[in-house]
Chain A
Amino acid sequence: MKKRCAEVLPFLGALGDGAIAEGDRTWVQAHLASCAACPDRLSLFVAQGAALRERVQARSAAVSFDGFADKVLARTRAEKPHVLEGTGVWTREMFGAHRGAFAGAAGFALAACMALAVVFIQPQPADDGAEASQVEEVDFGTHDGAVLQLPHDTTVIWMSDDRGSSK
Chain B
Amino acid sequence: MNEGAGDDRGLVRAAQKGDEHAFRELVERYQRRIYQLALGMTKDPDDAMDIAQETFVRVHKYLPSFKGDSSFFTLTYRIATNLCLDAQRKKGRTERVDVAEGDEAEIEAAMDPPSHALAGPQREALNEELKGKLDEALAGLSENHRAILLLREVEGLSYEELARVLDIRKGTVMSRLFHARLKMQNKLREYLGDDAPKAAGSDGDEE
Interface residues of A (CB under 8 A from B): 1-6, 9-10, 13-14, 17, 19, 30-31, 34-38, 40-41, 43-53, 55-60, 63, 65, 68-69, 71-73, 75-76, 79, 81, 86, 89-90, 92-93, 97
Number of A-B contacts (CB under 8 A): 171
Contact A57:B36 (CB < 8 A) given known A37-B113, A68-B27, A75-B53: yes
Docked CA distance A75–B35 (Å) = 18
Docked CA distance A86–B35 (Å) = 29
A93 CB to closest chain B CB (Å) equals 5
Contact A34:B205 (CB < 8 A) given known A51-B130, A65-B31: yes
Which single residue of chain B is at the shortest CB-CB distance from A62? B45
**Sorted from nearest, which 4 A-B pairs have the closest CB atoms?**
A5-B204, A36-B201, A43-B119, A49-B153
**Across the interface, do B199 and A13 meet the contact criterion of CB distance under 8 Å?**
no
Query: For B118, what are the chain A residues with a Cβ–Cβ distance below 8 Å?
Result: 44, 47-48, 51
B131 at the A interface (CB under 8 A): yes
**Across the interface, do A45 and B111 meet the contact criterion of CB distance under 8 Å?**
no
Select B31's contact among A34, A68, A79, A81, beta carbons within 8 Å: A68
Which single residue of chain B is at the shortest CB-CB distance from A71? B53
Select B57's contact among A13, A45, A72, A93, beta carbons within 8 Å: A72
Query: For A56, what are the chain B residues with a Cβ–Cβ distance below 8 Å?
Result: 36, 39-40, 150, 154
- In terms of DSSP, what is the predominant structure of the interface of chain A? helix
**Across the interface, do A57 and B154 meet the contact criterion of CB distance under 8 Å?**
yes
**Across the interface, do B35 and A60 meet the contact criterion of CB distance under 8 Å?**
yes
Contact A36:B203 (CB < 8 A) given known A49-B153, A60-B32: yes
B13 at the A interface (CB under 8 A): no
Docked CA distance A60–B27 (Å) = 16
9 extra interface residue pairs, beta carbon distance < 8 Å, beyond A5-B111, A14-B177, A36-B200: A10-B174, A37-B204, A40-B202, A48-B118, A49-B152, A69-B31, A79-B61, A89-B64, A97-B67
Interface string of B5-41 (1 = CB under 8 A from A): 0000000000000001001100110011001100110
Q: Considering residues A2, A14, A47, A75, which has the most beta carbons from chain B within 10 angstroms of its beta carbon?
A: A47
Docked CA distance A57–B39 (Å) = 10
The tally of residues in B whose CB lies under 8 Å from a CB in A reads: 63
Docked CA distance A10–B102 (Å) = 10
Contact A55:B152 (CB < 8 A) given known A4-B206, A93-B64: no
Question: Would you give 7 A-B contacts (Cβ < 8 Å), ordered by A?
Answer: A2-B204, A14-B174, A14-B177, A36-B205, A44-B119, A48-B188, A68-B53
Interface residues of B (CB under 8 A from A): 20, 23-24, 27-28, 31-32, 35-36, 39-40, 45, 49, 52-53, 56-57, 60-61, 64-65, 67, 107-108, 110-111, 113-115, 118-120, 123, 127, 130-131, 134-135, 138, 149-150, 152-154, 158-159, 174-175, 177-178, 181, 184-185, 188, 199-207
Select B56's contact among A10, A72, A89, A92, beta carbons within 8 Å: A72
Contact A13:B153 (CB < 8 A) given known A36-B204, A41-B114, A60-B36: no
**Across the interface, do B114 and A40 meet the contact criterion of CB distance under 8 Å?**
yes
Docked CA distance A84–B184 (Å) = 48
**Across the interface, do A69 and B28 meet the contact criterion of CB distance under 8 Å?**
yes
Query: For B199, what are the chain A residues with a Cβ–Cβ distance below 8 Å?
Result: 37, 40
A56 CB to closest chain B CB (Å) equals 5
Select A41's contact among B39, B64, B110, B152, beta carbons within 8 Å: B110
A12 CB to closest chain B CB (Å) equals 8
B23 CB to closest chain A CB (Å) equals 7
